[in-house]
Amino acid sequence: MSKAQSNNMHVLDTAVVERRLRPIYDWLDSGNNKKALQECDKVLKKAPNLHCAKALKALTLHRMGKGSESRVILEALTNEKPTDDATLQAMTLCYREMQELEKICRLYETAVRIDPTNEELHTHLFMSYVRISDFKLQQQSAMALYKLKPKNPYYCWAVMSIILQATRGEGCRDPLKRKLLLSLAERMFDKLLTENKIDAEQEVQLYVMILDLLGKQEEVVAVLDGPLGAKLQCTNFGLVKMTYLKKMQRWKDVNLICKSILAESADRWDIWKEYIHSVFELMYQQTQTSGQENSDGGDNIVETADDTPEKAHEFICRMVESGADNGYVLRGPFLARFQLCSRMSSRGMDTNDLFGDEIELFMEYFRKFGHKPCCVSDLRIFLNLLLTPKKTELSSRLMKDVGISATSVPQSEAQMQRHICAVQLSRLCGSHRDLSPEHLKALITALTLHYQHGYQTYGRGLLSTDLAPCDPYALLAAHLLYDLAQIEQKSDAVVVALALLERLLSNSPSNFHGKLLAVRLYHCLGGGTKALEMYSSLDVKHLQLDSLGYIHCARMMTTGLFTLCTNLFDATLKFFSSNYKDSSDHLTFSYKFGSFTKLDEFMDFRERMNNSLHYATVGVDRIVLKLVECMSLDTLYSITISPKEDKIEWNCLRDNHDLGVFLSWDPESIENAPEDWQESKALFEQDVRFLRLRTSILWTMAAAVDIVKSLDGDRQRHVEALRNALDQWKALHQKTLSDNFPPIQQNLLPLPMPSRLHGSLAAPYCPVFSSFLDFFLSMMGNDSHHTMECVKCIEEELDKLTDFLRDATIKKSNDLMARRKSLELAVNCVEIISITSLICVLCGELVKPVQVKKGKKKSCDTKNKEYVFSVADKLKKEMNNFCDILQDWIDANPEDHVFNMLESLNLNSTENILEKIHYSYKIANREMQLILKTKIKLLT
């Protein structure tokens, strides 16, 4: 404790201090930082050396956006070496919000040195190492804590830190080191066993974890069966044991455990899959050994292991019969028959003797469970048992079995659900593929009429949170309308689909499937404001901002709605930054409560979020947007431009998109999930390349700003940085062009829209920026001829850019699908000319006279000044041309040809949809022109 602090504590009683600080905490908790700052100043006026008040003032200033003032206070406090808990906690909170977690470690290291017998300080030091994932220091800190206070939890912290060194630290790359570290953890735990100190469930779990990582599954099972296993409070002990039996390939024991669980819970689908897998593993073992069948066990079917498909089928049939005898029908045993049939087919075994015709399996299941919405998702994964002709036969038999013709309607809600399932399964079987536009229109009409009848008959009186039972009709019709739009390559059918979805959502306001589909289709037509309205109504929160945010955030930047983009990006980035801070709490709580088995999950989650491609893309887009909206040189200087601050680890980027959230009945979804489709992998590769190109813009801009802000002695280093960044961008751009990435297909609705890479390559980003940056670099040389050549190059590139904008907008089709592509290219052009205007402003700063001494100015090259004025005039001229082109383009409204189709489907709200889409274009056009006019003022 410092002398000043000691004197201060003599004067102030603890109760008085707490009473004075309480209002500060209250104002901080309520979010009123201004009041909190006033209270801090009041307290510090009476007690200038009160450390906690200073720490709270630093926290308040940080939350008010005054980071530099906050850092000054924190540095001064750190030098005073505080040890009281309240001060350290306030400083910890401040450093966490600044994302400077290493400084928390230094803080507690100092405190522990001053007060080495304080158990609480040692604990906080350990937790500070946990936050930065320094496993070696965790181990040392935990052992020091154990020596101070020999408690089992502290010892387990040290053991867990060694395990993490083996699995995530230096041991994960060196197998020998991994084995040594795990053996050390085992020996340390053996010491607890020898001393008979293990008395908690968490300690047993940690011991089992060590043995499992060492591959000692036999010992794990022995532990589970022994006295230590009695300490485990598992909800299903057999299930835990089965995990290790599988690794040991003790399939007989696995089979028996599965049968005992299924005898009690016959609907456990996860156990059925394990059971059938064990049957085939036992059968394989039999063929590898004596070939004798398993005959041990008693008369009870649960006590005998099944090692042939025939025995498995007999067990399944008994489970079906026992359910029927008890008066209920469970899906699990019926699905188990499909799973058994599927495994036999994959091994080339004949299934006819056990199951007969596979179609009969499907028909039986449909007759029993077709009235349930889950029927389709149950059968989807087994449709690959059928060849294409069989699928066609199944489709026709399903429709015939329902008994609804083209002129009839369902007579009950159950029959309507069976009809919905039959239509969905028919689409999965491929019956909607290769239909002519006329057939598609007839089917769309029928489904729309079925939806309207279903809502009138069975959808009235539901709660606003309920989904109407007839809603799948409308969703299916919307999918078919999208198919029609892809065939006709026109937007009319998409507009009709949106009209149908609007009708659906007016009847079922909580139908998130309809909202997701509407967001996708509105972006397909460029209706950004309506897409945002739908996205907002989804109330996407927390993890969904990462898994679902792609459907909206990735496209909003292409709509030209810059103001809406700013709010959207800020909300998304706030989640990721909060997650980074909160995820460290998950780790510390896991240690505090001994939840060692959850540590890996939390750490995996943290890495998954930090390396999210969506996070990196939104972060870079937000910086680009700040540059586009920048209105002054001071604002430009205040922007943290370099994406290196975000530490993008390119090799670790993850695609966290949840494509399976879209309802889809495309035949492609039978084989695997949308995330595994080749198109999804291609899209990820293209998006990563797009992000690399986009960060190149920021690296060059950051280097250019550093040059202007630097002193003459340090300037050359930044000049080299700019040259290197520009050369790397050119090389990357050239490589991307030569790779010739094709846009992903758009025939499947679960797939996102094509990567923005293609619009970025179509627009002349690299040529225009290169000409401006070459001009910028020439400002620092004495070659007037080279500078003049750069000016000519800029004028040529700007002329090409204006021609490109004209060709991309006015000279393109007015169909909304084509118009959306034009809008994306127009936004790219505005982005290019807006950011290059900032480079021109930086050039102006370079040629300004430099103040050398008071009253004297260093002369500058007047020729360079003239060149900068010339480039600025050319920029202003072209930006005015941009405004004229954009105005002419928006005045040419697209023709509408959808009214006949709308009338035939009895949909009357589409005129509003078209108006709202056109309104979105007008808002975007207005914002783009406003940006351009702002930049013209900046250059004046």
- Residue 286, pLDDT score: 80
**Cβ count near 672 (within 10 Å):** 10
The tokens describing 40, both together, are 């801090």
- Cβ(221)–Cβ(252) below 8 Å: no
- Residue 297, pLDDT score: 47
- Residue 219, pLDDT score: 93
For CA atoms 782, 788, 793, 798, give the dihedral sign: positive
> What phi and psi, each to the nearest 5 degrees, are found at residue 794?
-60, -45
Residue of 684, 682, 688, 661 whose CA lies nearest to 673:
661
**Cβ count near 359 (within 10 Å):** 16
The tokens describing 915, both together, are 């108006």
- Residue 443, pLDDT score: 93
- Residue 9, pLDDT score: 43
Span 43-93, pLDDT tens digits: 898 888 899 999 999 999 999 988 889 999 999 999 999 988 999 999 999
- Residue 460, pLDDT score: 84
Q: How far apart are CA 68 and CA 80, in angstroms?
A: 19
Span 832-884, pLDDT tens digits: 999 999 999 999 888 776 554 454 444 456 788 888 999 999 999 999 999 99
Amino acid 835 reads I
Q: How far apart are CA 657 and CA 546, in angstroms?
A: 7
pTM: 0.90
Residue of 247, 251, 305, 249 whose CA lies nearest to 278:
251
List C-alpha distances in Å: 895 to 492, 809, 892. 10, 15, 9
User: What number of helices (H) and strands (E) belong to the chain?
Assistant: 43, 2
- Residue 11, pLDDT score: 41
CATH architecture, domain 763-939: Up-down Bundle (1.20)
Asked if 3-229 and 763-939 have one fold, the answer is no
Place of tokens 């947007």: 625
- In three-state secondary structure terms, 557 is coil
- Cβ(274)–Cβ(255) below 8 Å: no
Task: Return left, alpha or beta for 387; rule: phi > 0 is left, psi -120 to 50 is alpha, else beta.
Answer: beta
- Residue 711, pLDDT score: 76
> What phi and psi, each to the nearest 5 degrees, are found at residue 432?
-95, -5
- Residue 645, pLDDT score: 52
**Cβ count near 198 (within 10 Å):** 19
- Strands 850-851 and 857-858: what pairing? antiparallel
Which CATH class for the 3-229 domain? Answer: mainly alpha
List per-block mean pLDDT (blocks of 10 residues) for the chain, which spans 940 residues.
43 70 90 90 89 92 89 92 91 90 93 94 95 94 95 95 93 89 94 89 93 94 89 80 92 93 90 95 80 51 84 92 73 94 91 88 93 93 91 93 83 93 94 91 93 90 88 95 93 92 93 95 94 94 90 92 93 86 87 91 90 93 94 89 71 91 89 88 95 94 90 83 93 95 90 94 94 90 84 94 94 89 96 95 82 49 84 94 93 66 69 86 95 92
User: Taking the domains of the chain in order of start, what are their residue ranges?
Assistant: 3-229, 763-939
The tokens describing 693, both together, are 């190109």
- Residue 327, pLDDT score: 63
List C-alpha distances in Å: 503 to 157, 496, 909. 58, 11, 8
- In three-state secondary structure terms, 857 is strand
The tokens describing 807, both together, are 């060709």
Residue of 388, 369, 508, 533 whose CA lies nearest to 912:
533
- Residue 285, pLDDT score: 85
- In three-state secondary structure terms, 851 is strand
- Residue 715, pLDDT score: 84
Q: How far apart are CA 64 and CA 51, in angstroms?
A: 20
Residue of 396, 398, 349 whose CA lies nearest to 375:
398
Using CA atoms of 349, 353, 354, 357 in order, give the dihedral in degrees to the nearest 10: 90
CA 681-622-746 angle, 5° bins:
30
**Helix or strand (DSSP H, E) at 233:** none
Q: How far apart are CA 853 and CA 611, in angstroms?
A: 50
For CA atoms 668, 670, 674, 680, give the dihedral sign: negative
- Residue 880, pLDDT score: 95
The tokens describing 918, both together, are 């056109």
